[in-house]
Every structure is written in structure tokens, then in C-alpha cells.
């Protein structure tokens, strides 16, 4: 094979590889946006019926809350499993709850889709969390932002505190899928008095 022919083959292979990765990126973002639309429809149906409604027939989750920050609004799904997080941020059901006495709410989301905006959140920013069950809402102000190891259990230290904790992988623009750090945004309720 001539040198020119080899260079052409390498160029074509490189372009195909880059195109495949670019297409994969667009697919992930498109899936995330379409899912939020379908989840919004199920949220509205849940409000009408008073019962949890799945966003699509085969879903193993349903919307439990809506999180608002500045001009953005995200629907939060029940559970923070990989299957749920592919479609939206998820409530860590085993660690937190939107009902009862437990007031510490932990929500996880992917750094490259739904929680990408956390990179620009600063101390003092506010979030509004609306519960699906009773349409009540609470405003939280960001009090702390931390970067911790994925094994750090300090998130549970405030388990019984009245706070909202948002968690995503870190760094935001990492080149690997397996990030071993977490970006943690901690917010406390805004006093109503």
C-alpha cells in the first residue's frame, strides 16, 4: 500500500471515529431533552389524577418533584439508579424522602446533561423544589459547594438536617466516564419570616 493510500485510510478512519463520537453526544443530549418533555406530561397527568404516572409505558420510575433554578426547570424522578438518571435527575430514595419527617433531600444527576448547569451555580443562588404529591414548594439557598471523593460518606452527616443536596460527577468536562469525584451543592431553606 502506498504512503498516500495509507494516509487516506487513516484520515477516513479518524473522521468516522470522530463522527461516531459526535453522533453519540448528540443522541445523549436529545434523549435527555425528549425525556424531560415526556416526564413533564406525566407530571401534569399525575397532578390531575393524584396518582404517580409513568412517563412511558416501560418506565420503572415517575416524577416526584420539580427543581427550578433561575430560568431552568427540571423534573426529578423517583430513584437514582442508572436507568432513571439516563432520563433525568433522581431522588436518592434510600437516603432521602419528600414525605414524612426526613427533610434531607438528596438528588443526583449526570454532569453532561441535566446537572451540567451546576458548574455555574454559586453560593447564594436559590432553588425552588416543588413536590408532586401536594404541589407544595420550598425555596433553598446554596450555602456550600464541595468536591469530594465518590467514597466520601460525609453527605450523610446532615441526614436529618433540613437541606437540599445536589450531586453530580466531577470534573464536569472530564474525558472518562468513570469519575471518582463528586461535585456537591448544599442548600438550606430560605427563612419564611
Please tell me the predicted confidence (pLDDT) of residue 157. Answer: 65
Please tell me the predicted confidence (pLDDT) of residue 77. Answer: 93
Which letter does DSSP use for residue 11 in this model? H
Q: Where are the domains of the chain?
A: 3-189
Residues of the chain with pLDDT under 50: 193
The CATH topology of domain 3-189 is Sortase; Chain: A; (2.40.260)
Euclidean distance between CA atoms 108 and 85, whole angstroms: 8
Per-residue pLDDT reduced to its tens digit, 168-177: 999 888 777 7
Whole-prediction pTM:
0.80
Cβ–Cβ under 8 Å, residues 191 and 184:
no
Q: Residue 47 is placed in which grid cell?
A: 397532578
* Phi–psi pair at 130, nearest 5 degrees: -105, 125
Per-residue pLDDT reduced to its tens digit, 26-61: 666 677 778 888 999 999 998 898 888 999 888 889
CB within 8 Å of 78: residues ≥ 6 apart: 52, 61, 62, 63, 64, 84, 90, 91, 93
Tell me which residue has cell 418533555.
37
Q: Residue 140 is placed in which grid cell?
A: 433553598
The partner residues of 63 in beta bridges, in order of sequence, read 77
Task: Quote the radius of gyration of the chain (alpha carbons, Å).
Answer: 20
DSSP 94-119: TT--SSSS---EEEE--TTTTTGGGG
Tell me which residue has cell 427563612.
191
Please tell me the predicted confidence (pLDDT) of residue 138. Answer: 92
Q: How many Cα atoms occupy the beta-carbon half-sphere of 107 within 13 Å?
A: 28
Residue 102: closest CA among 112, 114, 93: 93
Euclidean distance between CA atoms 101 and 22, whole angstroms: 46
Cβ–Cβ under 8 Å, residues 166 and 185:
yes
Tell me which residue has cell 389524577.
49
Q: Residue 48 is placed in which grid cell?
A: 390531575
Amino acid at each position: 500500500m502506498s504512503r498516500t493510500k495509507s494516509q487516506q485510510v487513516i484520515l477516513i478512519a479518524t473522521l468516522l471515529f470522530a463522527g461516531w463520537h459526535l453522533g453519540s453526544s448528540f443522541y445523549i443530549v436529545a434523549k435527555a431533552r425528549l425525556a424531560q418533555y415526556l416526564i413533564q406530561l406525566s407530571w401534569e397527568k399525575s397532578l390531575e389524577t393524584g396518582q404517580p404516572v409513568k412517563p412511558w409505558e416501560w418506565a420503572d420510575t415517575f416524577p416526584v418533584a420539580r427543581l427550578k433554578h433561575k430560568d431552568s426547570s427540571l423534573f426529578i424522578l423517583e430513584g437514582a439508579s442508572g436507568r432513571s438518571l439516563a432520563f433525568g435527575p433522581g431522588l436518592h430514595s434510600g437516603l432521602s424522602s419528600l414525605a414524612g419527617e426526613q427533610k434531607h433531600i438528596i438528588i443526583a444527576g449526570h454532569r453532561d446533561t441535566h446537572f451540567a448547569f451546576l458548574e455555574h451555580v454559586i453560593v447564594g443562588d436559590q432553588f425552588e423544589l416543588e413536590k408532586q404529591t401536594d404541589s407544595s414548594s420550598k425555596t433553598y439557598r446554596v450555602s456550600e459547594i464541595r468536591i469530594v471523593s465518590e467514597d466520601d460518606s460525609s453527605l450523610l452527616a446532615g441526614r436529618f438536617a433540613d437541606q437540599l443536596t445536589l450531586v453530580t460527577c466531577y470534573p464536569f468536562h472530564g474525558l472518562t466516564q468513570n469519575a471518582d469525584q463528586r461535585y456537591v451543592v448544599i442548600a438550606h431553606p430560605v427563612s419564611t419570616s
